Amino acid sequence: MPDTATRRFSRMAARLGLATNLHALQHYSATELIAAGVDVRTVAGRLGHGGGGATTLRVYAAWLSESDQRAASALSARMPSRPRLR
């Protein structure tokens, strides 16, 4: 039965009082793995996506403020120092 995992997850979430579904867990998993620095090809493979990760990035990887802050810090660290004015 193809929907067995979905039904089981839904029943477990309901018992635990969680308002979620299996598809939301897939989004969460992809987002967290990418934010943790796991390469997109690996994340895509775990989700069963082909195509080099394009679907994974387009559909499943949400924007995270934490990741954006790391990106800003990384860019700032690579900028040359401001020249001293005389």
Radius of gyration (C-alpha) of the chain in whole angstroms: 19
Structure tokens at 17: 């009082």
Distance CA 64, CA 62 (A): 6
Assess whether pLDDT exceeds 80 at residue 46: yes
Q: d(Cα 18, Cα 47) in Å, to the nearest integer?
A: 22
**Other beta carbons within 10 Å of 70:** 13
Taking only the tens place, the pLDDT of each residue in 52-75 is 888 888 887 667 777 788 888 888
The whole-model pTM stands at 0.65
Mean of the pLDDT values across residues 77-83?
83
